[in-house]
Amino acid sequence: MGNIRMSESELLIGFEEALEKDYIFVCYQPKINHTTGRMIGAEALMRWKDPENGMQYPSDFIPVLEKNTLIPKADLHVFEDVCKFQRKCLDENIPAVPISFNMSRYDIFHSDYVGKIEKIRQQYQIPVKLLHIEITESSAIGGSELVSKVLNHLHVLGYVVEMDDFGSGYSSLNVLKDLDVDVIKLDMRFLSGGIGGRGGMIISSVIQMSKWLDTPVIAEGVETAEQADFMKSIGCTYIQGYLYSKPLPEQEFIEKLRQIQHEPVSKAINLIESMDAGRFWNPQSLETLIFNHYVGGAAIFTYQDGKLTILRVNQKYQTELGMNLCEKEILKADPWDGFDEHNKAVYEKTIKKAIQSHDEESCETWRTVCSKICGEDRICIRTDLRLIGRAGEEYIFYAMVRNITSEKKRYAELAESERRFRFASEQVNIYAWEYEFSSRIMHPCFRCMRDLNVPPVVENYPEPLFDSGLFPMDYYDSYHEMLRKIETGEVDSIEAVIPLSVARIPFHVRYTLERDENGKPLKAYGSAAMVVDTPEHSENQEK
Ligand code: C2E
Ligand code: CA
Ligand code: CA
């Protein structure tokens, strides 16, 4: 049977009978957490299947019902169906999820509409948390005082209120600021330009703003995996759309409820301790004032699955980074840009430590920053991190930053010159040799031979070196005593300062013992390093 679109008068004449005979009924469309694949709820959508004309579409019949003040009656019918359905789930052990139903702006103006739904809910004894209410953004424009009142009333009763069709109106941002909604539904179909262009930018900023407002977002009308992945990439994991499921008749929806696991919607970000999200993001609040003026460079960012998103930076943050980057450039770029693998690992490790410790954790990392004005530079930032909130696997951090590039460079220069100095002195001053006990043979290093005239093989060590004058005679006894200690294995290493050569230049002479596999002393490695800058060791011949 094909569907024939009914005229306005046909709809009006058929309305009462359609309600009575359940030609008007409800389909359910799941809302899914794209990250976990679990169901977070469903939306009840009105359907009208006429026995003669077939399926009628909401976009056709709802405006007719609205125009003729029949919509409150139709919506109460839907609401009762939803309550009956939830009752069935509870009674028959079908896993229940919160189901949202649509409230038309005409319902808001209908006298005591909230009282009426409350009566139905109580009649079926449905826990209020299993029923959400969707109101459209446009209904909030205009008679906003009345809308606020109804919203308050619903909140007092415990209903979760979702703002439907966000992004379709002209004053979306103001509406969000003024109305206290619990969930935002962002309709992908309202976004011109697709996710690649302007549409993507708008969505990103809505998601970002929703985080500031502590309000979860559900993306509606998601048809492709590309759209879903994009939403996930900007931090929105809740989706509703044909990609997962079309609106389903009751029986099929029950199958879905049994197949798919469920989970509750988590708040966007739960700020830790006494930090109040509203005040924190309010440009006039004390918190903002402090953030902007009384701390050093600071940023707020989120971390999830290795991804960083900067939510907010203050003026001093921009100064610390240097390079004349403006806030927009900073927020737009991937914060990991400019980190090499090592520095990224250091930073991530610190993030994880801060998650574990709930305390301030610090790190120093190098990164490359680019700006249009200054080109490219490599800078070192000291970051003190503190976890200030979390929502599921998403963590929010407060970061204090300080640019320590010049300190680091100065330190590096010092270290480098020290390293060079030591290397040079080693080259000049260290002499080494090997002395085998059983044969009493000593093998000197090349420099011993070159600078000190030691022959390549010295037999009957150490006597020839006393004879040659390299070892001073007045150290004859103490030197033999030192060798005895090492040869007998009494010590494993020994050292003394000995003036060498006729010039009596003081050297640190050191022996290290090598034993055989039975522990018997085998040979010793000797070394002599010139004593640098220690006058108390230098012996003066004239003295
Ligand atoms: P809505 O509240 O924005 O509902 C979502 C609409 O998007 C539904 O259309 C749904 O079938 C459709 N949709 C969901 N996923 C996709 C998708 O991936 N692609 C596309 N192209 N569409 C998708 P439906 O059921 O035709 O309802 C249209 C509108 O009629 C609703 O928009 C709502 O404003 C109104 N409506 C539906 N049921 C009720 C009701 O019980 N009471 C009232 N007052 N209005 C209702
Ligand atoms: Ca809706
Ligand atoms: Ca919608």
Question: What domains appear along the chain, each with residue ranges and CATH number?
Answer: 8-266 (3.20.20.450), 277-407 (3.30.450.20), 429-542 (3.30.450.20)
- Average pLDDT rounded to a whole number, residues 376-386: 87
More confident residue, 407 or 79: 79
- Residue 248 pLDDT more than 80? yes
Q: What is the value of pTM for the model shown?
A: 0.60
Q: Is the minimum distance from the CB of 167 to ligand 1 under 6 angstroms? A: no
**Residue 264, SS3 per DSSP:** coil
Q: Is the minimum distance from the CB of 102 to ligand 1 under 6 angstroms? A: yes
Q: What percent of the chain has pLDDT over 70?
A: 80
- Residue 543 pLDDT more than 50? no
CA distances from 500 to 395, 448, 477 (A): 66, 12, 15
Q: Is the minimum distance from the CB of 221 to ligand 1 under 6 angstroms? A: yes
Ligand 1 centroid to residue 15 C-alpha, Å: 20
pLDDT band per the 50, 70, 90 thresholds, residue 177: low
Question: Of the candidates 165, 156, 163, 187, which has an alpha carbon nearest to the alpha carbon of residue 177?
Answer: 163
Ligand 3 centroid to residue 484 C-alpha, Å: 94
Q: Which tokens sit at 278?
A: 């509203």
- Amino acid symbol at 540: N
Q: Tell me the C-alpha distance between 404 and 533, whole Å.
A: 34
Q: What percent of the chain has pLDDT over 90?
A: 45
Q: Which tokens sit at 61?
A: 């019949």
> Which pLDDT score, from 0 to 100, does residue 197 have?
61
Kindly report the protein residue whose alpha carbon is nearest to atom 3 of ligand 1: 165
Of the listed ranges 26-30, 180-184, 438-442, the one predicted with least confidence: 180-184
Q: Return all residues near 343 (Cβ < 8 A) that are at least 6 apart.
A: 365, 366, 367
Burial of 445 (0-12, 13-18, 19+ CB in 10 A): middle
Q: Is the minimum distance from the CB of 93 to ligand 1 under 6 angstroms? A: no
pLDDT band per the 50, 70, 90 thresholds, residue 30: very high
Ligand 3 centroid to residue 258 C-alpha, Å: 25
More confident residue, 438 or 272: 438
- The single residue listed with the structure tokens 């190098």 is 366
User: Which tens digit of pLDDT belongs to each residue from 426-440?
Assistant: 555 678 888 999 999
CA distances from 357 to 54, 279, 354, 385 (A): 62, 26, 5, 11
- Pairing between strand 270-271 and 24-33? unpaired
Q: Is the minimum distance from the CB of 343 to ligand 1 under 6 angstroms? A: no
- Average pLDDT rounded to a whole number, residues 223-234: 84
- Residue 535 pLDDT more than 50? no
pLDDT band per the 50, 70, 90 thresholds, residue 395: confident
